[in-house]
Amino acid sequence: KVLILDFGSQYTQLIARRIRELNVYSEIVPYNKIPELDDSYRAVILSGSPFSVREERALHPELDKVVGKLPVLGICYGAQYIANHYGGTVSRSLKREYGKANLGRVQGSSDLFAGIETGSQVWMSHGDTIQDLPEGFELLASTADVEVAAFGSVDRFAHPVYCIQFHPEVYHSLDGKQLLENFVINIAGCTGDWTPAHFIEQTVEELREKVGEDRVLLGLSGGVDSSVAAMLLHRAIGDRLFCFFIDNGLLRKGEFEEVERSYEGMGLNVTAIDAKQEFYGALAGESDPEKKRKAIGRVFIEVFEREAKKLTNIKYLAQGTIYPDVIESVSVHGPSVTIKSHHNVGGLPEKMGLKIVEPLRNLFKDEVRRVGGELGMPAHLIGRHPFPGPGLAIRILGDITPEKVRLLQEADAIYINKMREYGLYDQVWQAGTILLPVQSVGVMGDERTYEQAVALRAVTSTDGMTAEWSHLPYDFLAAVSSSIINNVKGINRVVYDISTKPPATIEWE
């Protein structure tokens, strides 16, 4: 596997994904938490950084722990750090170089650039420039603006060290994948056998070993992560996996029943729990978004715990936590730990004395989907849009009543079904309908109406952290609008949300 040292670059996760696309497992650690490099590691990559090596707050890795021990590739800050550390010079460039550039000269002899032609387009993003190379390093490539775009040394250390100023992980570096493949496969000797099938085989084995003859409980949400986690565990331990699927009354129209049927089709041992009234009761009269979230979380735990007590001998609680939830990230504001507990069972494992099992904690979302496909999960489950845990409660602005939920479900079902009908569903990251606490005047036939408005939201995104509103076709929006207004009594106006995130968020609450 490949170790990636993170110096806080916005592209660090992208490096990990590109390596994994080569079917090589990669993991990210903060620059100052280098693990013991046992036989499982084959190469180390140093990421870029928002910092400058010349700054006082520059991040200092223990280079001796990696250089000479394994092949090393430094990217941007990583390259500058290596240059600086081994006696080269790095200085401020007159202007920050940002964007596309072409490799003006590629030394043919370097293994790193095998198969990459002079003129290859690369992506630059840096404010410092490497002026002089350290001893024993040779120049490998330049661009029109930067003399030292790539350099390396094959003999100064026991293993080769390569450094590049540009970002091979960004798609605009057209031969970036080739370069990473040259480094990871050809130079470092990784085998490229980390496929979904291999992951499943290995994980199932590990789960069997870890869980032994014990029983595991898992809360299904209907989303892809918890579903894939359940299928893996089911494959490993069969009916010793017990699944709960709780109906909080805040899902999309007909979704609970539909997903429950899919789960049964997949052979899972599922207890469906109707807790709608408890959730509605806890939400009654509450309009504050955070208090609504808390109320839902609290009831979820109450219901989960009550039902779990009916089972005996459960030792583990399984969760669908994925890699972006657990990566320790280095941020401009200092190293920080981001661990979201969005699986709604916060505090429960400790309280019930259960151990945690998280079979997906090393996977990115798209990898979870591929594993789901390999496990034979139905396509409509794999491709489902993300849906927030608190569900429609945060898409009904203001307080929640069962009547408002029903109204929103009707409008939302029209929107989502039309989206599938028009072949747009898979083109957006997430879509939903928001019930606005606004009434407005309309006219239907000869009658004046005074009814509610809904907003339609659809965004494209890769991780939900940033998002662009989807430029959905006008004829589609027209069809949705007229269908909602003509069919959902109580709604006489439809608007489309054209806000990006940031500064708006995807959800309205």
Residues within the annotated binding site?
Answer: 221-227
Q: Give the chain's end-to-end CA distance (angstroms, integer).
A: 41
Contacts of 335 (CB under 8 A, 6+ apart): 30, 32, 328, 329
Q: Give the Cβ contact number of residue 347 at 10 Å.
A: 10
What gap in Å lies between CA 431 and CA 417, rounded to an integer? Answer: 11
Percentages helix, strand, coil for the chain (3-state, rounded to 5) are: 35, 25, 40
Q: Which structure tokens are listed for 316?
A: 């583990």
Q: How far is the CB of 409 from ligand XMP (least distance, A)?
A: 17
Quick one: 177 or 342, whose CB is closer to ligand XMP?
A: 342
Q: Which of 110, 129, 182, 430 binds ligand XMP (CB under 6 A)?
A: 430
Contact between 223 and ligand XMP per CB under 6 A: no
Distance in angstroms (rounded) separating the CA atoms of residues 238 and 7? 42
Look at the block and give the residue holding tokens 């099992």: 357
Measured from the CB atom, is 491 or 506 closer to ligand XMP?
Answer: 506
**What's the CA dihedral at 325, 330, 331, 337 to 10 degrees?**
40
Under the criterion CB under 6 A, does residue 365 sit at the interface with ligand XMP? no
Question: How far is residue 367 from each of residues 131, 296, 361, measured CA to CA in Å?
Answer: 40, 30, 11
User: Would you count residue 460 as binding ligand XMP (CB under 6 A)?
Assistant: no
Q: Which of 464, 479, 483, 495 binds ligand XMP (CB under 6 A)?
A: 464
Q: Is residue 346 near ligand XMP by the rule CB under 6 A?
A: no
Q: List the x/- string, 17-46, binding to ligand XMP by CB under 6 A.
A: ------------------------------
Region near ligand XMP per CB under 6 A, out of 17-25, 315-323, 381-389, 479-487:
381-389
Residue with Cβ nearer ligand XMP (258 or 507): 507
Residue 49 is a binding residue for ligand XMP (CB under 6 A): no
55 is catalytic: no
- x/- binding map, residues 251-290, to ligand XMP, per CB under 6 A? ----------------------------------------
Sign of CA dihedral 201, 209, 364, 30: negative
Per CB under 6 A, does 293 bind ligand XMP? Answer: yes
Amino acid, res. 470: S
Position 315 contacts ligand XMP (CB under 6 A): no
| Residue 388 interacting with ligand XMP (CB under 6 A) | yes
For residue 143, the surrounding DSSP H or E stretch is: strand 138-143
Among 346, 386, 402, 442, contact with ligand XMP (rule: CB under 6 A)? 386
Q: Does 431 bind ligand XMP (CB under 6 A)?
A: no
Q: Could you say which of 13, 161, 390, 492 contacts ligand XMP (CB under 6 A)?
A: 390
d(CA 92, CA 115): 32
State the binding site for ATP: 221-227
- Catalytic annotation present for 21: no
72-75 and 89-106 strand pairing:
unpaired
Helix axes 196-211, 224-237, angle to 10 degrees: 60
CB nearer ligand XMP, residue 127 or residue 398: 398
418 forms part of the interface with ligand XMP (CB under 6 A): no
Length of the chain: 509
What is the pairing mode between strands 270-274 and 43-46?
Answer: unpaired
- The least distance separating ligand XMP from the CB of residue 84, rounded to whole angstroms, comes to 39
Nearer to ligand XMP, 74 or 388 (CB): 388
Question: Judged by CB, which is closer to ligand XMP: 349, or 389?
Answer: 389
Contact stretch for ligand XMP (CB under 6 A) within 164-172, 201-209, 263-271, 387-395: 387-395
Check residue 391 for interaction with ligand XMP (CB under 6 A).
no
Q: Is 76 a catalytic residue?
A: yes
**Are the CB atoms for 104 and 143 separated by under 8 Å?**
yes
Distances in Å between the Cα of 257 and the Cα atoms of 27, 211, 353 are: 38, 30, 31
Which of 455, 437, 454 has its CA nearest to residue 489? Answer: 454
Which of 126, 167, 343, 385 is labelled catalytic? 167
Nearer to ligand XMP, 346 or 389 (CB): 389
The size of the interface with ligand XMP (CB under 6 A), counted in residues, is: 12
The residues assigned a catalytic role are 76, 167, 169
Residues that bind ligand XMP (CB under 6 A): 293, 342, 386, 388-390, 430, 464, 501, 505-507
